[in-house]
């Protein structure tokens, strides 16, 4: 249920868009159009709007329950992440399944095909590769992933 949540993220909490995608959530991050565009997308696509702008939470569509909003309160990214994970009960089951740049789902990339596309030390140390078919970026579970995972674990644990 919660896994199916989809989001649209306001520029004022832009870094959360990346984190939502890391967790595997379908997340749009429109860079133009302002509040009206965010609200339009949220309504049209049934997406949860994530924003620091209290004004949006007063909109009619929100009051009538046509649209869901997470009103982020913290300045600090760690606090923002914690609030989001807690409020929406975000799951980590889709971790690292989506391209953080494009929002597309990643596809498994055979090691043999990754061979001439990643640095040799990466090929040696990794067995599993994923690829975004839109931007062709290749992902693997390096230390960067471990760090992000640790950060998300912290966000989850703090909610207990």
Q: Is 39 in the site for Zn ion (CB under 5 A)?
A: no
Stretch that binds Zn ion, among 29-37, 50-58, 125-133, 150-158 (CB under 5 A): 125-133
Percentage helix, strand, coil for the chain under 3-state DSSP, each rounded to 5: 45, 15, 40
Provide the token pair at 121.
């030390």
Q: Is 107 in the site for Zn ion (CB under 5 A)?
A: no
Could you give the 3-state DSSP secondary structure of residue 123? Answer: helix
Pseudo-torsion of CA 80, 86, 90, 91, nearest 10°?
A: 120
Figure out which of the listed residues 11, 28, 61, 102 binds Zn ion, where binding follows CB under 5 A.
102
Non-local (6+) Cβ contacts of 99 within 8 A are: 21, 105, 106, 132, 134, 135, 137, 139
Q: How far apart are CA 19 and CA 119, in angstroms?
A: 25
| Cβ 99 to Zn ion shortest distance, Å | 3
Figure out which of the listed residues 17, 70, 99, 152 binds Zn ion, where binding follows CB under 5 A.
99
Residue ranges in 126-155 that form contacts with Zn ion under rule CB under 5 A? 132, 134-135
| Cβ 35 to Zn ion shortest distance, Å | 27
| Cβ 128 to Zn ion shortest distance, Å | 17
Q: Which residues bind Zn ion (CB under 5 A)?
A: 99, 101-102, 132, 134-135
């Amino acid at each position: 249920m919660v896994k199916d949540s989809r989001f649209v993220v306001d520029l004022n909490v832009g870094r959360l868009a990346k984190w939502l995608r890391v967790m595997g959530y379908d997340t749009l991050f429109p860079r133009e159009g302002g509040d009206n565009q965010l609200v339009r997308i949220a309504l049209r696509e049934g997406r949860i709007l994530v924003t620091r702008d209290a004004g949006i939470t007063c909109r009619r569509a929100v009051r009538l329950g046509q649209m869901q909003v997470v009103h982020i309160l913290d300045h600090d990214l760690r606090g923002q992440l914690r609030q989001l994970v807690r409020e929406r009960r975000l799951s980590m089951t889709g971790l690292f399944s989506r391209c953080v740049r494009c929002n597309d789902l990643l596809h498994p990339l055979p090691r043999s095909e990754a061979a001439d596309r990643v640095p040799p030390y990466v090929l040696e140390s990794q067995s599993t590769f994923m690829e975004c078919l839109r931007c062709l970026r290749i992902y693997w579970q390096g230390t960067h992933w471990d760090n992000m995972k640790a950060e998300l674990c912290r966000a989850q644990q703090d909610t207990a």
